[in-house]
Amino acid sequence: MKPPVVRARPADPAALGPAFHSPGSRVGGKERRGSGAWLPAKAAAFGPGATRRPRLGGGRGGRRPGGSSAMGSRSSHAARIPDVDSLRRETGFSQASLRRLYDRFQALDRTGKGYLSRLDLQQIGALAVNPLGDRIIDSFFPDGSLRLDFPGFVRVLAHFRPVDEEEEGNRDPKEPEPLNSRMNKLRFAFQLYDLDRDGKISRHEMLQALRLMVGVQVTEEQLESIADRTVQEADEDGDGAVSFLEFAKSLEKMNIEQKMSIRILK
Amino acid sequence: MLRAALPLLGLPLAGAGATEEPTQEPGSPGEPPPGLALFRWQWHEVEAPYLVALWILVASLAKIVFHLSRKVTSLVPESCLLILLGLALGGIVLAVAKKAEYQLEPGTFFLFLLPPIVLDSGYFMPSRLFFDNLGAILTYAVVGTLWNAFTTGAALWGLQQAGLVAPRVQAGLLDFLLFGSLISAVDPVAVLAVFEEVHVNETLFIIVFGESLLNDAVTVVLYKVCNSFVEMGSANVRATDYLKGVASLFVVSLGGAAVGLVFAFLLALTTRFTKRVRIIEPLLVFLLAYAAYLTAEMASLSAILAVTMCGLGCKKYVEANISHKSRTAVKYTMKTLASCAETVIFMLLGISAVDSSKWAWDSGLVLGTLFFILFFRALGVVLQTWVLNQFRLVPLDKIDQVVMSYGGLRGAVAFALVILLDRTKVPAKDYFVATTIVVVFFTVIVQGLTIKPLVKWLKVKRSEHHKPTLNQELHEHTFDHILAAVEDVVGHHGYHYWRDRWEQFDKKYLSQLLMRRSAYRIRDQIWDVYYRLNIRDAISFVDQGGHVLSSSGLTLPSMPSRNSVAETSVTNLLRESGSGACLDLQVIDTVRSGRDREDTAMHHLLCGGLYKPRRRYKASCGRHFISEDAQERQDKEVFQQNMKRRLESFKSTKHNICFTKSKPRPRKAGRKKKDGVANTEATNGKPPRDLGFHDTAAVILTVESEEEEDSDSSETEKEDDEGIIFVARATSEVLQEGKVSGSLEVCPSPRIIPPSPTCAEKELPWKSGQGDLAVYVSSETTKIVPVDMQTGWNQSISSLESLASPPCTQAPTMARLPPRPRAPEEPQAPLKLPLSSDPRSCFAFPPSLAKAGRSRSESSADIPRQQELQPLMGHEDHSHLSPGPANSHWCIHFNKGGRL
């Protein structure tokens, strides 16, 4: 049980692609927080009762140095999306989808800085009321980066591209799994639970997730018992936590390809 | 039904006569005597309801007969059999009465037979699936039905123009369109009857079935419009009439849906306030749904749509509001009524077909219609699916399309509509009737018979049932939220976006308004699944009969990895021993190192949770009063606590950290290799069988099942009582660790030792004499004890023992206990116990001594049954134990072998 669990971890950022790291490095050492410092902050953000993230200041600070360098991409027309071809290959999106997403990306980027900050995403109205909204926004900003550029944006959304069975059939087995594969879809959901990124959903993390999703009327004690049972249900090796493999196994009967796809992202 | 039978009143009784004759003999057929009649025969006063009841009885008996042979019903759908039976019965009636009787009257059909079926299907419609596929369903229902009606009608007219229909069929284009409109609608009754047995995958089923329900609006509109056009004469139809026809489609469908939703709202709101009159809850559901149907019918809106929407809309709130018992009542009544109505419909359909006076056969018309409805249905499905697949995430493949085309069954709705035609206005009515009958019979019998093999042959994806797990439920919610969020990010307000909106609206306003507060929490879906899983575990644990246990009882159902040898062995034991058997817990007694520590921890836990003082229920009198309201919250909390504890102990046992059956058990005579016998038994207040234990102290835990919230009607309380008898053993170590005092502190509640000496205590004679005490624990605590919980149980036992400790070992504890008079009827029972010979202290049983104790007990294996009965006898005196609405209490008796 253990080794796969450990392996699932590094696979996660790898699946999201290297570009996720680049914005963070561009920001410079001043803005960039070490992952060690970041993780506790993040965990705290999801602590009981904490709904608003305390990192808005950091996001705002990051905008200034990035602003000037990104100005060029702002003026580009939708047809001139940077790296269209490689993005298409990587994500499987059609040209039209990419163009639409690029328009959306630019619309979200209100100040025209060429990348999205957390604030940009947080200002999407419905996302604020989504119980998982914060976590989903977080998944756009892996490893504590503060900027989301277009390739990163598209790569996250590529998880929700419907699975094309034919395409799946002729896929070269040597190629990396496409972003919208079942496992990657699951991995996306998994990392919403796994706040401390240790590759396991601990009981505590489960409890936090449940607290977000279950109505207020359920008492804390009841929540705990639900969390207990949920973890135990999926936990196979008895470590009191749900690893990614256990997570995937608990959902093996579910049609993830279908449930985690959005038609318009074809 | 009544109304249908009324016109039959004056008719010869020949049909029913066959059944009636024998009873007529004792009657006095002669002139009534002037004086007081000893016996009077009043057939005519009861005739109508009598016939109705008889027909239903015949139909039900027929159903039973069909199901006697599994082979037949697996091959032939029930609807076919019923139609054939109807044909036979109709033939008999015709032969006897020389006149066709008991036909399917449109009035009866629409007012009495159809509503239950539609309500049933609407109420139990999987709403999520329905709305997920709403687009496809609506397309097929509206566009498909229109397409079918117009193409079929036009093609038949073309057939007539081509001279292939005999000229005696006098019908114009409008007549054919009218006929097309009534013959084109897929029939919900027929579809349901056939598809329920086919088990195609849910998506396919919901599309076909949803279509058949929703197309009613279209059918009604088309039928009415065409009918009025025919009556007006085609020359008088103006352009505005066509516009009105189109407008009426919206009025009828949206109006019907609105009526349904309004009644759903009313129904949900009403059930919110039925807390004190639980008994009428099921009635309300039926009344308001029926009112919705009648109201829509009255306003000539789509009644089927109304009642479907009513069922669909109210379910969530109604289910949350009404009690568990009412839920069951609603479910079964609905299913019974629907199945009854369906049976009668098919049978009457068969009977009606016999009446040749209504027939006028024309081969061209019949064959043409058959061909066209099949052809255009298939064509329509293919065309629509092609369009739909452009928009569907999961396209419908060719096989689905074949099944959908072939599953377009016609049924009683078409028949009833064609009977309703006015012969003076539609001269070809007789031909249409004959054609409709043939079409209905063909689709129900031929297609119904062949669809199963077809589905098998095409390898259509079947529906697979798997039990819900908490993980699935939770993650499904996560997925929904993720998708809604991604749609937000992408900026596309699609299905997920709107569903999310709706859910928020529902949560914020609707649920607040329509659900009683106590129910609100339970209806959280995750909580609901959790709750249901627990109930299932508990029920199967109590049932403990057969395979249910293995899947969901002791091993919590949703947990895939149950590798513990001990648990499997228990499961097997339980399974083979069945209800009432004694289980030897010793079999699963694997002594582990961490046990004692675990015991201690568990002890504390249980002390905290088990014995919290609880108010007792007041005895409820009167069937209309439910006394448990005040307790509900408390009960739930108790339930919570207990489940939590249970889980905790489960956690430990699951991974084999600690699985203790603490002590050697006396061995049961005649049992297999079981030493400690855990006797779990579901007794309905009756003494348990088979409890052969000597020197047992009964610890009676009357626990409330999860259903306790719903336990209202006190009249049923006895039947629902279930006792779990546990025979377990004390852990001496725990006692010695001095936990006793702790437990005493926590649990000096009147519940534990009820103020009035519990019956158990009173009547357990061996108690006082031998120092084993009956301990009364909370009558509210839900204590479902799966094997997983045994550690916990043992702990609880030990703590109980500490309470009920014999004077020799735990003198201070004793002081707290009320004196237990020895039951006079069983004075000799304790004498048989070999306890006096046991030098050891009752509770001091280090595991090492287990063997010795066991062998010792074996010698005294045949302890008379009555000892085991005693706890239960005490329990029988139920009003003492749980005088309140304790209809779902489980009594858990702990017979701890005090001394060996």
pLDDT in tens, B356-393: 777 778 888 888 889 998 999 999 999 999 998 888 87
pLDDT value at residue B263: 94
Mean pLDDT computed over B757-770: 43
Q: Is residue B264 over pLDDT 90?
A: yes
pLDDT tens for residues A124-159?
777 777 888 888 888 888 777 777 888 888 888 888
pLDDT tens for residues B170-202?
778 888 888 888 888 888 888 888 888 888 888
Contacts of B488 in chain A (CB under 8 A): 124-127, 130
Q: List chain A pLDDT tens, one digit each, 266 residues.
A: 334 433 333 334 434 433 334 333 333 333 333 333 333 333 333 333 333 333 333 333 333 333 333 343 444 444 566 677 777 777 778 888 888 888 888 888 878 777 888 888 888 777 777 888 888 888 888 777 777 888 888 888 888 888 776 665 666 666 667 777 788 888 888 888 888 888 888 888 888 888 887 766 677 887 888 888 888 888 888 788 888 888 888 888 777 777 788 877 76
User: Residue B455: helix, strand or coil by DSSP?
Assistant: helix
Confidence of residue B485 (pLDDT cuts 50, 70, 90): confident
Tell me B513's DSSP state. Answer: H
C-beta of residue A261 within 8 angstroms of C-beta of residue A162:
yes
Domain ranges of chain B: 99-110+127-235+336-458, 466-540
The tokens describing B3, both together, are 């109304």
Contacts of B394 in chain A (CB under 8 A): 258
Q: Smallest Cα–Cα separation from B109: which of B333, B440, B578? A: B440
The 10 Å CB-count burial string (b at 16+, else e) for B480-517 is bbbbbbbbbbbbbeebbbebbeebeeeeeebbeebbee
Tell me A130's DSSP state. Answer: S
pTM for the predicted model, two decimal places:
0.62
Please indicate if any CB of chain B lies within 8 Å of the CB of A243.
no
Please indicate if any CB of chain B lies within 8 Å of the CB of A139.
no
pLDDT value at residue A167: 62
The lowest-confidence range among A38-42, A199-203, B216-220, B445-449 is A38-42
Q: Is residue B774 over pLDDT 80?
A: no
User: Residue B554: helix, strand or coil by DSSP?
Assistant: coil
Contacts of B247 (CB under 8 A, 6+ apart): none
Contacts of B643 in chain A (CB under 8 A): 225, 229
Mutate one of A156, A229, A230, A254 to test the B interface: name it (highest B CB count within 10 A). A229
Q: Determine the residue of chain B that is closest to A223 in CA distance.
A: B527
pLDDT value at residue B645: 63
Please indicate if any CB of chain A lies within 8 Å of the CB of B128.
no
pLDDT value at residue A199: 83
List Cα–Cα distances, A216 to A193, A210, A222, A223, B319, in angstroms. Answer: 19, 10, 11, 10, 20
Confidence of residue B34 (pLDDT cuts 50, 70, 90): low
Q: Is residue B735 over pLDDT 50?
A: no
pLDDT tens for residues B692-719?
344 444 444 444 444 334 433 333 333 3
Q: Determine the residue of chain B that is closest to A264 in CA distance.
A: B492
Cross-chain Cβ contact B558/A126 below 8 Å: no
pLDDT tens for residues B324-361?
888 889 999 999 998 888 888 888 888 888 877 777 78
C-beta of residue A224 within 8 angstroms of C-beta of residue A30:
no
pLDDT value at residue B502: 86
CA B698 to mean position of chain CA atoms: 35
Contacts of A108 in chain B (CB under 8 A): 489, 491
pLDDT value at residue B806: 42
Give the length of chain A.
266
pLDDT tens for residues B396-412?
888 888 888 888 888 88
pLDDT value at residue B519: 67
C-beta of residue B820 within 8 angstroms of C-beta of residue B773:
yes
C-beta of residue B257 within 8 angstroms of C-beta of residue B305:
yes
pLDDT value at residue B332: 92
Q: Is residue B803 over pLDDT 60?
A: no
Tell me phi and psi for residue B330, to 5 degrees.
Answer: -60, -45
Q: Using CA atoms, how far apart are residues B738 and B802, in angstroms rounded to an integer?
A: 9
Most confident of A72-76, B132-136, B472-476: B132-136
The lowest-confidence range among A186-190, B283-287, B339-343, B619-623 is B619-623
Of B500, B561, B643, the CB nearest to A236: B561
3-state secondary structure B835-872: HHHCCCCCCCCCHHHHHHHHHHHHHCCCCCHHHHHHHH
Cross-chain Cβ contact B464/A253 below 8 Å: yes
Q: Using CA atoms, how far apart are residues B58 and B827, in angstroms rounded to an integer?
A: 57
Those of residues 164-193 in A touching chain B at CB distance below 8 A are 188-189, 192-193
Give the length of chain B.
900
Q: Is residue B430 over pLDDT 50?
A: yes
Those of residues 51-110 in A touching chain B at CB distance below 8 A are 101, 104, 107-108
Confidence of residue B633 (pLDDT cuts 50, 70, 90): low
Provide the number of CB pairs (under 8 Å) joining chain A to chain B: 168
Higher pLDDT, B437 or B32: B437
C-beta of residue B328 within 8 angstroms of C-beta of residue B140:
no
DSSP string, A80-111: G-TTHHHHHHHH---HHHHHHHHHHHHHH-TT
Helix then strand then coil, in percent of chain A rounded to 5, is 65, 5, 35
Cross-chain Cβ contact A226/B530 below 8 Å: yes
Contacts of A120 in chain B (CB under 8 A): none
C-beta of residue B153 within 8 angstroms of C-beta of residue B180:
yes
Contacts of B464 (CB under 8 A, 6+ apart): A253
What ipTM was estimated for this complex? 0.71
pLDDT value at residue A76: 46
Angle subtended by helix axes B202-232 and B145-161, to nearest 10: 50
C-beta of residue B179 within 8 angstroms of C-beta of residue B404:
no
Q: Which residues in B273-409 belong to E strands, given as ranges?
A: none
pLDDT value at residue B295: 93
Please indicate if any CB of chain A lies within 8 Å of the CB of B633.
no
Confidence of residue B636 (pLDDT cuts 50, 70, 90): low
Q: Using CA atoms, how far apart are residues A153 and A20, in angstroms rounded to an integer?
A: 9
Confidence of residue B587 (pLDDT cuts 50, 70, 90): very low
Of B476, B481, B527, the CB nearest to A132: B481
Q: Is residue B289 over pLDDT 70?
A: yes
Q: Determine the residue of chain B that is closest to A240 in CA distance.
A: B651
Contacts of B461 in chain A (CB under 8 A): none
Q: Using CA atoms, how far apart are residues B185 and B199, in angstroms rounded to an integer?
A: 22
Q: What is the mean pLDDT of chain B?
A: 67
pLDDT tens for residues B543-563?
765 444 444 444 444 444 433
